[in-house]
Structure 1
Amino acid sequence: MAANELKDLIPMSEWLPGIKRPLIIAGPCSAESPEQLMQTAKEIKVLGQVDIFRAGIWKPRTFPNNFEGVGSIGLEWLREVKKETGMPVATEVGSVKHVFEAIKYGVDLIWIGARTTANPFAMQEIAEALQGVDIPVLVKNPLSPDLELWDGGINRIYAAGIRKLGAIHRGFSTWGKSDLRNTPHWQVPIELKRIHPNLPIIGDPSHICGNRTMIADIAQRAMDFNLDGLMIESHCNPDEAWSDAKQQVTPTRLGEILSGLKIKTEHTSDEKFIRTLDELRSQIDMYDDQILNILEARMKIAEKIGLCKKENNVSILQTARWSDIINKMVEKGAGKGLSDKCISEIFQSIHEESINHQINVTRD
């Protein structure tokens, strides 16, 4: 489905009364009891910074016998929260039954989780269940950094007639150790925004981080990348939460995070210009970080090469090999619009650094 077919989306500001940019959605990972839900909601309401209260009712877990949500009874608790606090309420759906139950209990916004987005059959069934429904629907990215799969799920919901439509960036699963639970791969939501400029994208720093200590930094990064809002998990007693305890913050901390966000509007009154410039600069920062990571990985390989040369009594400098690399890179660079001078200087510096790393590891 072509990108321009999403042009008639309803602006986020018209989804619900009082909605503004950045849209803030907050609440516990899971509804655990009516008392826990109401206490958290009241503490969040006092902040005056949250647009929509969220709580998980059904929780897809990897292993059986883990807490998988309280089920539909939690929707009654959400309805009481809405009645008592006046805040709109939201929850995740993963099946046709969930959609029908959420609508029956008056949920104001639903989102489709990452595991469900990865399944086109499930997405199609949910899309068909949403036909004729007039509530905002957000689609989380799939577990893998597959832009087409994410876009395809969004298009299925759009094809069902949903025009209050948005996406949630919650990061992507990765193998190996990392400080983050899910790798952001910021270039994926950035590309989605390029394809669909009118599609709101909400950042989910809680799931990207997996721990509460980094949420403020990732939330600010989401704003720097011009995302349209945030979904942050907040619990009245996060250390005792029944699911994802480490990534939830107290309502007090939530208020601090939101108050500390920098939404830049300096140097000009043209907000579109500011957002565009900040988004482009943030992309530059992202690619610079990637370059550093690649260089680090390259130097580690160079060190292994140095050790191999040492074991086989081979000299560090291989002139013919280096000349071949330079010529090849200059030719490739020209095809990418990069000057010979630029490529030669960059790879000369890389080569010198590689030689230094090899020398360091081969010293007796």
Structure 2
Amino acid sequence: MKFNPTQSFFTELRGGQGLPLVIAGPCSAESEEQVLQTGRALQQHIHLFRAGIWKPRTRPGSFEGVGTQGLAWLNRVKHELGMKVATEVATARHVEEALRQEIDVLWIGARTTVNPFAVQEIADALRGVNVPVMVKNPVNPDLALWIGAIERIYHAGVTDLAAIHRGFSAYQETKYRNMPVWQIPIELKARYQNLPLIVDPSHIGGKRELILPVSQKALDLGYDGVMIETHLNPEKALSDAEQQVTPGALKAILAKLQVRKTTYDDAELVNRAEELRLQIDAADHDIIAALARRMALVEQIGAYKKQNNVQVLQLERWKEIFRSRGEWAEDAGLNPGFIEELYQLIHVESIRKQTRILDGV
């Protein structure tokens, strides 16, 4: 895929590379008055007004959106307030009805992105219509699935594309509603540098107090914009009340966000950064050499287990490694959680090596 930022709808909309794109509006369009009042409150502060019309809910019986009638409300925001408007689509019919009401931007939600059949249906409906499309990451942390959804839309002829990072579902309880798993969107951005990347801190955090820190981290990582759910009275919202903010709170968040420089602008700083990078390269070389030594020892113990007909996994030994390495990390001033994740990967590779030895591969 190739994207030309000089012709990108999203780049032009935000007014240049130095400014973050700001998308805001209610999670759900609830009434015509609510949509128009929210639009007026946000008119001077955002680039794109968003509202959900069709809401895919986990269980039936909850509020599933107002449906097609809400598109006319967005059309009024567009024409009466002069704002660009966006909504989520999940079927070909949604696409057709949204385009009929002159919706400027469509987005594909996480629960749709996870289904290639559904994405292809949307792509087919978009063929020949170059409306800007944003694609949210799938519910599960699968970069290939995310890229596949983007490619399907691109192959239909849509050239104005953006990716939305809204986090990933996880079984364990964390402070986030959806785990950020930052390395996945970072890898997406590394592969497609001209593809605009937008963070959805409302869905990542699930709580309004997390919107600012998640948004700032995303901008620090080079994201191109934010999508923040905004409601006139969040406590009474019909969907996702805890993660929505008032228009006033949104303005305060935007005022606090800092956009960092993309490069060093001083020769001395450039030289110092290069010195540090060389030291990092040397440290990485040492790390890889140490891992190679460790894996050589793993192979030796794998051979010893084979000679003595001992199984690969020694659970008590693994528990001891997992416990002690976290303690060593803490003593060294490192984050134990990071070291635990690292040793999980090392353990998987160790098991793989020893299994191959026992199997005679």
Calculate the TM-score normalised by the size of structure 1. Answer: 0.73
Q: Does 1:229 align with 2:225?
A: yes
Alpha-carbon contact 2:10-2:162 (below 8 Å) kept? no
Task: Give, in whole Å, the separation in 2 of the partners of 1:41 and 1:113.
Answer: 22
What displacement does 1:352 show?
9.7
Matched residues in 2 for 1:205 and 1:81: separation? 24
1:39-78 equivalent positions in 2, closer than 5 A:
39-45=37-43, 48-78=44-74
1:134 aligned residue: 130
The one-letter amino acid paired with 1:122 is: A
**Residue 189 of structure 2: SS of its match in structure 1?**
helix
Is the contact between residue 14 and residue 22 of structure 2 (CA under 8 Å) also seen in structure 1? Answer: no
State the aligned residue count.
287
In structure 1, the residue matched to 2:23 is 25
Structure 1 unaligned spans of 5+: 285-326, 335-346, 358-364
Question: What amino acid is aligned across from residue 46 of structure 2 in structure 1?
Answer: V
Pick from 330, 343, 355 the counterpart of residue 293 of structure 2.
Answer: 330
Pairing 1:284-363 to 2, within 5 Å after superposition:
330-332=293-295, 353=327
Residues 14-39 of structure 1 deviation map (CA, whole Å, 9 limit, x = unaligned) = 66656444111000000000111111
Instruction: Give the root-mean-square deviation of aligned CA atoms.
Output: 3.0
Query: Any idea what the Cα deviations from partners look like across 1:70-104, whole Å, max 9, x if unmatched?
Result: 00100001111112211100000000011001100
Hey, what does 2:197 align to over in structure 1?
Answer: 201
Segments of structure 2 that go 5 or more residues without pairing to the other structure are: 281-289, 298-320, 332-361
Secondary structure of 2:134's match? strand
Cα displacement string for residues 190-216 of structure 1 (whole angstroms, at most 9, x for unaligned residues): 000111111111100000000101100
Letter in 1 for 2:295: K
> So what's the TM-score if we normalise by structure 2?
0.73
- CA deviation string 1:100-146 (max 9, x = no partner): 01100000001000000000000111011101112210100000000
Partner of 2:168: 172
- Tell me what 1:263 maps to: 259
| Structure 1 CA distance for aligned equivalents of residues 231 and 326 of structure 2 | 52
d(CA) in 2 for partners of 1:132, 1:269: 44
Aligned sequence identity (%): 51
Tell me which residue corresponds to 2:177: 181
The Cα shift of 1:6 comes to 2.3
Counterparts in 2 of 1:174 and 1:333: CA distance versus 1, 3 Å = farther
Change in CA separation of 1:328 and 1:199 when aligned onto 2, cut-off 3 Å: closer
Q: 1:74 to 1:266 in 2, by over 3 A?
A: closer
CA distances 1:34-55 after superposition (whole Å, capped 9, x unpaired): 111111111111xx22000000
Match of 1:362? Answer: none
Looking at structure 2, the residues matched to 263 and 211 of structure 1 have their Cα atoms a distance apart, in angstroms, of 23
| Aligned-partner Cα distance in 1 for 2:155–2:72 | 30
Note if contact 2:13-2:47 (Cα within 8 Å) is conserved in structure 1.
no
Q: CA deviation at 1:149?
A: 0.4
